[in-house]
Structure 1
């Protein structure tokens, strides 16, 4: 007796049927083209890494609550990667002295997090990671933000759809230190700031009181978080001037509420938000100057971002900006008129493929032509090639246009032109 549950993926995982994979491939091809236009090379790494690689800097929630963990047969503790940045940084550290800087690498990979599956979020998701390692700080920060903007443009998302909210952790630390918030108190305060938009003002103030901030400190902090003045941060001011010169300022705004919960960020941080559905984060990134050093390399500046496929595709679908894609590559079905003429149909299919025309050869030798035509119609194959005794004798091929129903006879030499027109 069969168990129907075995035909289902595990909770939070996804099957990619041809129509689903066509969307993901379209998205990643667009992003690959953007990355290549800026000179980025593509890399890849293992899905399984040492648990310690992620425990070093990925943050308590990500490592201890969301990461899939296992032990191999030798008792080594491993983690299924919940993000790509640690793997990326480890690979830089491994060959740090051999690489040429500034280093422009990008990668695409499957990642897993044990989260509650919901709209725009899955336990199994694919990420695009892009980082610039080395180089001047503000210009490097600007470059990755420009690439992020161009990636949004490439898939039809405009400043009317998304916004990049940008901050700087050093600016935050300096500003909070001025009002007496430092050390452990700073860490506790920034965790609350990171949650600010998910809780009420009263809950936020109560949380600050619980970590022993005075009423005066709470008032000064709230005033700072409502400000939008860049004058006190020369680095942010310089960055926004560069973003203006690049022509992407409409995508960008300063926001002191952006902290990024992952602990390895050291400077500029940013998140892309959906402007039309509340405060939903689409992707994010920032500067991580110490991460390569954590994995055995030297200190080297780095900045980048990672974007996932689930929320982006859901956003495009909701905005009706997903293209109508045809996953089927087949242009021609070479029919088999009879077993005696199979070799002729086989030769035709080989000839068409050698000319760059994706061609299927019907696999049954004795199937009626009507059955083969119905197959082509159901699959949406645009052309059917028929080789009967008359065609073979005259060295012709009958081509049927499945959309119009029109049939034409042509020579082997004229076949490609007829199909492509």
Structure 2
């Protein structure tokens, strides 16, 4: 996670101006704590002070200020999409302040403190961020999105990475943390993460898009994720919607064959992405584990049902439009080269997660490992020789780190 002191753009003055405005409007004198701290950060940004000389306020004083300001900022993001270029980076940097009380002490280890005392406290802090993501994901104004495309990418990337970062401080295992923090409102982050996979945008983000997608998938409940994945698949192959003339299977096969592996990875079977959906009826959501026999689609073999009525209902509602598509996708996924690539992607994600939750590791070596992961993800689908070279470097570094 980048320190906010390392940001290139001078955004602290913008943050100060916004917090000052909120303080004036709300007549909230407690925001003075945040303002004083931001003024010290501005001195660091101007190279008039060093980061270690700036003391972070305790979280019982800092967090209430952030709650007030980010809530007001969420309102502004909803009301002023033309200002996203400035509002979203400001929100991202303010949200990053939630981590600082846990790392302020130079003598404490990362396990000695938590950023949030409970999962509920974290979810409360995420409420304004989820509202901002919803405003972006639901926007139909292509002009506003185009004007702020890099800022949207950085906003989603950094906030989702912070979710993983807070898990490292939570003293909870990653599986438990993500199970407890799943929420329907996170579906908007998943929609944004899908858009980052489009190579036409050519966006450069600090963390690779597949890492962002992985975090977005883990943040959303399986049913909501399934709906979003279905919509994403339709947008890729049926841009005119489900009402357009169905494509013949050979045409679908050709389109799927040309699909970049980054986007193909997002179309993995629902049960693989959200294991809780692997044993649920695709139509009504009923648990299928107790049933002696389940029904499955004979065409693509993907969805399972508890009875014929659910199967017919799902066919009428949505499955008829994607059945042939899923069959084409799974046929390509069955190729050994694709399976090997997907296994590598999953392995890289696990390594990154281990590094983020290992406070005892040497910082410089961890940074080198993360750089190798990012380099490999960038070429993972197109240049096997680069992946092999980076894999050798990674294995050597992991041996040094004792992982």
Q: TM-score, normalised by structure 1?
A: 0.25
Instruction: Specify which structure has the higher proportion of strand.
Output: 1
Larger radius of gyration: 1
- What TM-score results when the alignment is normalised by the length of structure 2? 0.26
Greater relative contact order, per chain length (Cα 8 Å cut-off, separation 6+): 1
